[in-house]
């Protein structure tokens, strides 16, 4: 059992780098905190569920991880997968789904199927990632417009229903302003500052 813990020799644990490791761990935790909360809400659960899952899963991944180069943390891909499952089978299906996914990963590792990923074209991977980004963006429309989320499990019909609901009711302009400012700081300001010559750095830009 000792070989499962992070002090094993192949992790190259160095006592002289403990301070740097602790600082790095806290930095990653701070970055993962809003991601965990956001993904918990996006997947149809609660912010507390996302935060709790990130803490427990991160601890277990560090304890039983197979490599010191392993990266574990909240991922947006799972939110797209979990939304229709929660809608169809309820929250009670999530633990079984997690166990089933873990068993599948273990079987794939034992059968050494990881090399198959090299045969997947980059266009497929990029398309998958862009598709997830689009679905997550559509799921944020109710929060961005400050209206109630439509019923259903498909993101596109829910988005259309959300826009219709926003046009027929009152849009929360404060929420929409925050979204617009975030997009401006993240995507527009970096290019604009280089072109105009502005040297003021805005965090997250």
* pLDDT above 50 for 198: yes
Burial of 50 (0-12, 13-18, 19+ CB in 10 A): buried
* pLDDT above 50 for 78: yes
- Residue carrying structure tokens 């273990």: 106
Q: Report pLDDT for 8.
A: 52
Domain ranges of the chain: 1-119
SS (H, E, C) 32-99: HHHHHHHHHHHCCCCHHHHHHHHHHHHHHHHHHCCCCCCCCCCCCHHHHHHHHHHHHHCCCHHHHHHH
Across the range 91-109, mean pLDDT stands at: 86
* pLDDT above 70 for 147: yes
pLDDT tens track for 49-73: 888 888 888 888 877 776 666 777 7
CA 32 – CA 34 distance, rounded (Å): 6
51 or 4, which is more confident:
51
Mean pLDDT for all residues in the chain: 79
* pLDDT above 50 for 181: yes
Task: Quote the tokens at residue 177.
Answer: 């302003």
């Amino acid at each position: 059992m000792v070989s499962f813990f992070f002090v094993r020799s192949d992790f190259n644990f160095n006592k002289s780098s403990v301070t740097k490791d602790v600082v790095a761990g806290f930095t990653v935790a701070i970055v993962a905190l809003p991601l965990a909360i956001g993904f918990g809400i996006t997947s149809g659960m609660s912010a507390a569920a996302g935060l709790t899952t990130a803490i427990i899963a991160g601890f277990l991944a560090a304890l039983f991880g197979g490599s010191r180069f392993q990266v574990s943390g909240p991922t947006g891909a799972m939110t797209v997968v979990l939304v229709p499952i929660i809608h169809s089978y309820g929250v009670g299906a999530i633990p079984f789904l997690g166990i089933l996914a873990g068993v599948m990963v273990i079987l794939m590792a034992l059968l050494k199927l990881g090399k198959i990923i090299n045969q997947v074209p980059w266009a497929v991977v990029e398309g998958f990632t862009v598709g997830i980004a689009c679905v997550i963006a559509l799921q944020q429309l109710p929060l961005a417009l400050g209206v109630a989320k439509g019923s259903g499990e498909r993101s596109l019909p829910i988005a259309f229903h959300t826009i219709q609901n926003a046009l027929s009711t009152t849009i929360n302009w404060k929420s929409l302003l925050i979204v617009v400012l975030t997009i401006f700081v993240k995507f527009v300001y970096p290019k604009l500052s280089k072109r105009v010559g502005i040297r003021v750095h805005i965090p997250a830009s």
